[in-house]
Structure 1
Amino acid sequence: MKEIKWGIIGCGDVTELKSGPAFNKVPNSSLVAVMRRDAEKARDYAIRHNVPRWYNKAEKLINDPEVNAIYIATPPLQHEEYTLLSLAAGKPVYVEKPMTLNTESALRMENAAANFNVKLCVAHYRREQPMFLKVKQLLLDKVIGDIRFVQLQMLQSRAHNLIANTGNNWRLDPSVSGGGLFHDLAPHQLDLLIYYFGEVRSSSGISINQSNEYPADDLVSGQILFENGIVFNGMWCFTVSEKDKKDVFEISGSAGKISFPVFGNRITLKKDGHEEEFIFEPLQHVQQPMIEKVTAYFLDKGDNPCSAGQAISSMKLMDSFTKKSEFLS
């Protein structure tokens, strides 16, 4: 292949700005077809984004002879099915996060990619954004010395606005999303932990529905011990008061501290009694740097920016945090 000609399965709200337009803005890449089960919405998307063809059935897009790579942006419930169909058709897949509903499903996807010998990449796109690459470099340079522990607080009110707006909020239905707002937002944070700190030795957590306002749990806590001895403690709660909202990812080392919001644009470095800030311009299309890397990977011009195996590591963490303890059952 000399050019990746993309087809999108699930051209919903997340693709309007975050990802969709970027496929036409990176080298050797173009968007040639989109699919959505609602035919009128698929047609409308194609017209507004100047996409040549649209479909209301995934199989038709997968079998489009011009489409040679597929981006799956449906709710997680359909990720495995469409990934397996695409891989069987010999077409490499870029699938949204979370990779799928649970670890068992993710392993089936990974095995299918290996069996069909077709490439599979997961959209943990923060790995390629300038802000998070800067954090990675600060850690590699040991600017804050040896890392001791990491603390995260993702506290949001009922009226939070961090996710795409949808008429039917499938994110609150565990059968479709895998487990509520935690499963929608935490993959970003957990993947950064894997990206920065490597292999996990053990993990555990507590997950509970305190408000009973919807079927999914609204509070999750998690603890991780990494193979390198780094300890992580995290808290996600989606029913705090508006004034108590917080988004803090804090890395403490032997010589200082790095903190930043995962859904923000500012890094704070504290060391030797001094404070330094790094501010980053918001990206127009947040997935564009990742899509550029994925395109290069599919064209055999670079490495996989986020493999199935790496994504499975964060799936395992989510499962370990949300597995019900006996005293909660």
Structure 2
Amino acid sequence: MEEIRWGIIGCGDVTEMKSGPAFNKVPHSKLIAVMRRDGVKAENYAKRHGVPKWYDDAIALINDAEVNAIYIATPPLQHEEYTKMALEAGKPVYVEKPMTLDANAAKRMIEVATRTNVKLSIAHYRRAQPVFIKVKELLAENIIGDVRFIDMKMRQSINPALIAKPEDNWRINPAISGGGLFHDLAPHQLDLMGYFFGAIKKANGMATKQQKNTLADDLVVGNILFENGIVFNGTWCFSSSEKDEIDNCTIYGSKGNISFPIFGSKIQTTIDGIEKEYVFESLKHVQQPMIEQVVNFFLGHGENPCSGEEALITMELLDRFTGK
């Protein structure tokens, strides 16, 4: 295989800018087909993005002989089914986060990838972005000394601007998304914690519904004790006042701290009372660095940037924090 020729299953809002155009901007990568159950919308997407083929049936796209890799960008409900279908067809898969509805489904996906010996990579793409690579470098340089604990706060008002608004608002339907906005945003945050701090010794949490007439938990708290003794405390609230909105993660060490938003592009360090800021250019296509690594992995030129086994850890945390 000399070029990855992609087919997208689920060409919705996440693919418009975050991922879709990047497949044609990465070396040795080309987007040649898209699928959406609404064929009119699939055709519209294809024409707007210069994609030569479109389908309204996932099996047809998977069986297209020109397509040799699949990107699954549907809501989580369909991730397991389409991933297994593609793997059984011998085509490597790059699947959106959260990996699927729950940890048990993630394990089944990993089992199929192992049995078929076909590559599977998960779109925890923030670990490939320059801002978070820099955080990892600062930690490796020990600039804040020995890390003690992490305090992460995510507070958003009802219907926050941070969240894309698809027509059917599936993100707040647990049957489709696995949970609520916590399941949409927390995978980014929790994956980075594992990326930064390694193996987990134990974790627990709790979740509740504080809004009326909601199916999904809108307040979640969680704690992690890492094998290295570092402690993580996280709070997610999706019914706060607009004035109380915050997206912040602060890592405290014996010499100072590193602070940054998960959905932003800057880092601030405070060491012995001296502050320093690192500002990064916002990425036009936020998944492009990850897609480049996935292409290299599928071509046999690099390691898996995020394996199913790594993503399973995040799925297990989601389940533990919400009591699944």
Aligned to 1:184: 184
- Helix, strand or coil: the match of 2:161? coil
Aligned to 2:152: 152
Describe the superposition over 1:119-161 as per-residue Cα deviations: whole angstroms up to 9, x where unpaired.
Answer: 0000000011000000000001111111100010000001311
Q: Distance in 2 between matches of 1:181 and 1:110?
A: 25
Q: Which residue of the partner structure matches residue 165 of structure 1?
A: 165
Query: Partner amino acid for 1:232?
Result: F
**2:66 corresponds to which letter in structure 1?**
E
Once residues 24 and 223 of structure 1 are traced to their aligned partners in structure 2, the CA distance between those partners, rounded to angstroms, is: 40
The yes-or-no answer on 1:140 pairing with 2:140 is: yes
Task: State the distance in 2 between where 1:35 and 1:20 align.
Answer: 12
Look up the match of 2:104: 104
The alignment partner of 2:305 has SS state of coil
In terms of mean alpha carbon deviation, does 5-14 or 205-214 score higher?
A: 205-214
Residue 165 of structure 1: how far off its partner (Å): 2.0
Runs of 4+ off more than 2 Å: none
Identity of aligned residues (%): 62
Q: Which residue pairs with 1:226 in the alignment?
A: 226
SS at match of 1:269: strand
Q: Distance in 1 between matches of 2:117 and 2:164?
A: 34
| Paired position in structure 1 for 2:201 | 201
Superposition RMSD on alpha carbons, in Å?
A: 0.6
Q: Tell me the residue number matched to 2:115.
A: 115
Residue 127 of structure 1: SS of its match in structure 2? Answer: helix
Describe the SS at the equivalent of 2:239: coil
CA distance, structure 1, for counterparts of residue 77 and residue 233 of structure 2: 29
**Amino acid in the other structure paired with 2:220:** V
Q: Offset of 1:272 from its aligned partner?
A: 1.2
Question: What corresponds to 1:255 in structure 2?
Answer: 255
Q: Tell me whether 1:291 sits opposite 2:291 in the alignment.
A: yes
CA distance in 1 between counterparts of 2:126 and 2:22 reads 15
SS of the residue corresponding to residue 59 of structure 2 reads: helix
Counterpart of 2:241 in structure 1 is: 241
For residues 249 and 313 of structure 1, the distance between their equivalents in structure 2, rounded to whole angstroms, comes to 20
Hey, what's the Cα distance between the residues in 2 that align with 1:50 and 1:266? Answer: 34
> Where does residue 212 of structure 1 map in the other structure?
212
1:264-317 superposed Cα distances (whole Å, 9 cap, x missing partner): 111000001100000111000000000000000000000000000100011111
Q: Give the letter aligned to residue 156 of structure 1.
A: Q
| Aligned residue pair count | 324
SS at match of 1:150: strand
Q: Does structure 1 residue 41 correspond to structure 2 residue 41?
A: yes
Q: Which residue of 1 aligns with 2:6?
A: 6
If the length of structure 2 is used for normalisation, what is the TM-score?
0.99
CA distance in 1, matches of 2:323, 2:67: 39
Q: Deviations over 1:140-197 (max 9, x none)?
A: 1111111100010000001311122211100110000000000000000000000000
Corresponding residue for residue 25 of structure 1: 25
The letter for the 1-side match of 2:45 is Y
Unaligned stretches of 5+ in structure 2?
none
Aligned to 1:81: 81
2:236 counterpart SS class: strand
Please give the TM-score of this superposition, normalised by the length of structure 1: 0.98
Residue 322 in structure 1 maps to residue 313 in structure 2: no
Instruction: Provide Cα deviations, 1:222-254, integer angstroms capped at 9, x if missing partner.
Output: 001000000011000000000000111010011
CA distance in 1, matches of 2:92, 2:176: 24
Write out per-residue CA displacement over residues 199-232 of structure 1, whole angstroms, 9 at most, x where no aligned residue.
1110010100011242101000000100000001
- SS of the aligned residue for 2:42 comes to helix
1:34 counterpart letter in structure 2: V
> Counterpart of 2:67?
67
Residue type at the aligned position of 1:134? K
Instruction: Work out the CA distance in 2 between the residues paired with 1:164 and 1:44.
Output: 20
Residue identity in the other structure for 1:238: F
